[in-house]
Amino acid sequence: MPTSADVRQELAGLADPRRAEGSSRYLQMVPGGYGEGDRAIGVSVPDQRRVAGRYWRDLSLAETARLLTSDVHEERLTSLFILARKFAEGDEEERGRIFGIVLANTAHINNWDLVDSSAPYIVGPWLIDKDRSVLDRLAESDLVWDRRIAIMATFAFVRAGDFHWTFRLSERLLRDPHDLVQKAVGWMLREVGNRDRAAEEEFLARRYRVMPRVMLRYAIEKFDPQRRREYLSGVA
């Protein structure tokens, strides 16, 4: 049976120092950046997905979880690709265990690409037919990544035509100080609008004037130019 060491070795063989330098800047793994303290080795996302595709079936959950605690960014992202594939193909018991692994390791899901590769594909789908109060707890966390996980998890509900939790958490996070949460809230509101423009505009009507600008811009990105101007000028 393969181990996390096998995955690490394969990723190391694909590493590119020049790409690592670019990734470190892009994901702000620099002093003062939101990814400070992380380490990239320079493996492209397509390569990580290919590695995950080779290992997802045979790598145990324990070994996959071990990979998720790595200090190397690409190893954690590959772990999440594997977990997402296992979740999609697993039975209820395995899906529950995967959900538990993700929730127990949010401190390691500590950049936007890690959140966005797991919350909409594991956290949200698991909660579709279950108690969703864990999302309230995540939304109240001091950890920015927990808050982004909470709102991004609602993408699964939006795809199922259920907008309640997106609106609920958007309300709670309306004045969040971090731009990565603001962008995620705006993105999820935009996804609601892609399916039901009237529902999104009803939510925006009483809130758009107090929203952070970046949140509003994301939320109205797909509106026609005139309507965007109206919102941005405060006369919608």
Check which CATH number belongs to the domain holding 140 and give it: 1.25.10.90
What confidence score (pLDDT) does residue 7 get? 98
Task: Give the distance from CA 129 to its chain's centroid.
Answer: 20
What confidence score (pLDDT) does residue 235 get? 75
Give the count of domains, the chain.
Answer: 2
What confidence score (pLDDT) does residue 132 get? 98
233 and 179 share one domain: yes
Residue 84 belongs to what domain range?
Answer: 1-110
Candidates 226, 228, 209; CA nearest to 218 is 228
For residue range 107-161, list pLDDT tens digits in order.
999 999 999 999 999 999 999 999 999 999 999 999 999 999 999 999 999 999 9
Which of 110, 127, 162 is a domain's end point?
A: 110
What confidence score (pLDDT) does residue 234 get? 85
What confidence score (pLDDT) does residue 19 get? 97
Q: For tokens 């265990």, what's the residue?
A: 97
Residue by residue, DSSP assigns 163-212 as -HHHHHHHHHTTT-S-HHHHHHHHHHHHHHHHH-HHHHHHHHHTTTTTS-
77 and 157 share one domain: no
Q: How far apart are CA 119 and CA 8, in angstroms?
A: 23
**Strand, coil or helix: 228:** helix
What confidence score (pLDDT) does residue 195 get? 98
What confidence score (pLDDT) does residue 56 get? 97
Q: Which helix (H) or strand (E) holds 79?
A: helix 73-89
128 and 207 share one domain: yes
Q: Which helix (H) or strand (E) holds 85?
A: helix 73-89
84 and 135 share one domain: no
101 and 159 share one domain: no
131 and 230 share one domain: yes
Residue 214 corresponds to which tokens in the numbers above? 């970046």
Which of 110, 137, 162 is a domain's end point?
A: 110
Q: Which helix (H) or strand (E) holds 52?
A: helix 45-55
Residue by residue, DSSP assigns 114-168 as HHHTTIIIIIHHHHTTS--HHHHHHHT-SSHHHHHHHHHHTHHHHHTT--HHHHH
pTM of the model: 0.95
16 and 88 share one domain: yes
Task: Give the distance from CA 234 to its chain's centroid.
Answer: 30
> Residue ranges of the chain with pLDDT lower than 50?
none
124 and 236 share one domain: yes
Residue by residue, DSSP assigns 26-39 as HTT-STTSTTTT-B
What confidence score (pLDDT) does residue 111 get? 97
Which of 93, 110, 127 is a domain's end point?
A: 110
The mean predicted confidence, pLDDT, of the chain is: 97
**Strand, coil or helix: 76:** helix
